């Protein structure tokens, strides 16, 4: 399976427990997938347990999915978040800002990744999905998270053919990739 490319996403959430030193949680997943579009869009991804980010998103019931443009900066960002929970604020070109989700009973502030203004070179994070936990399934040492998409942030491409450099970052064979040439 290591030769099968998968889309890369960074999942962020907030740990709502009182007394938490750093409520922002984040991780890279390469198992992101769509499950259904109707009657509401559902996405999925897998998380190896234990995971502080998984605990945060299950406790808060909300999370953000950041899909990345295919370049060296976003590959470095994805690698930084692949080393377990990442709450670091020393991300060179990126920072956490707060996104206020008002979908639940109580408004919840979620950690939104974005380019720092002084390092902005375009849209390295072309869009973000705000999701709520729809279901979770325990499978051996992993949890499969199913999330209902509530909102999209950023610009979703119009229904047109995309160029390779407009597609999202992928992961295969222990490396990050940009999609290649169209064959059909």
Break the chain into its structural domains and give their ranges: 6-177
Instruction: Give every CB contact of residue 14 below 8 A, 6+ residues apart in sequence.
Output: 23, 24, 25, 56, 60, 62, 108, 109, 110, 111
- Residue 84 pLDDT: 64
- Local confidence pLDDT in tens for the 184 residues of the chain: 888 888 999 999 988 775 555 678 899 998 999 999 999 999 999 999 998 889 999 998 999 999 998 988 889 899 888 876 555 545 677 888 888 877 766 677 888 988 887 666 668 888 899 999 999 999 999 999 999 999 988 655 444 456 666 678 888 888 887 877 656 6
Evaluate if pTM is beyond 0.85: yes
pLDDT of residue 121: 66
CATH class of this structure's domain 6-177? mainly beta
Looking at residue 104, its pLDDT comes to 64
pLDDT score at 12: 93
pLDDT value at residue 181: 67
* Residue 88 pLDDT: 54
């Amino acid at each position: 399976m290591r030769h099968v490319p998968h889309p890369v996403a960074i999942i962020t959430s907030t740990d709502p427990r009182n007394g938490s030193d750093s409520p922002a949680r984040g991780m890279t997943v390469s198992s992101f997938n769509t499950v259904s579009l109707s009657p509401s869009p559902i996405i999925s991804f897998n998380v190896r347990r234990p995971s502080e980010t998984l605990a945060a998103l299950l406790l808060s019931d909300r999370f953000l999915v950041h899909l990345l443009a295919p370049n060296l900066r976003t590959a470095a960002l994805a690698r930084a978040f692949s080393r377990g929970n990442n709450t670091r604020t020393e991300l060179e070109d990126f920072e956490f800002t707060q996104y206020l989700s008002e979908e639940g009973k109580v408004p919840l502030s979620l950690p939104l990744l974005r380019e720092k203004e002084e390092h902005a070179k375009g849209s390295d994070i072309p869009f973000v999905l705000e999701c709520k936990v729809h279901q979770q399934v325990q499978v051996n040492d992993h949890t499969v998270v199913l999330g209902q998409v509530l909102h999209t942030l950023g610009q979703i491409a119009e229904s047109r053919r995309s160029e390779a450099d407009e597609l999202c970052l992928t992961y295969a064979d222990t490396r990050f990739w940009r999609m290649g040439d169209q064959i059909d």
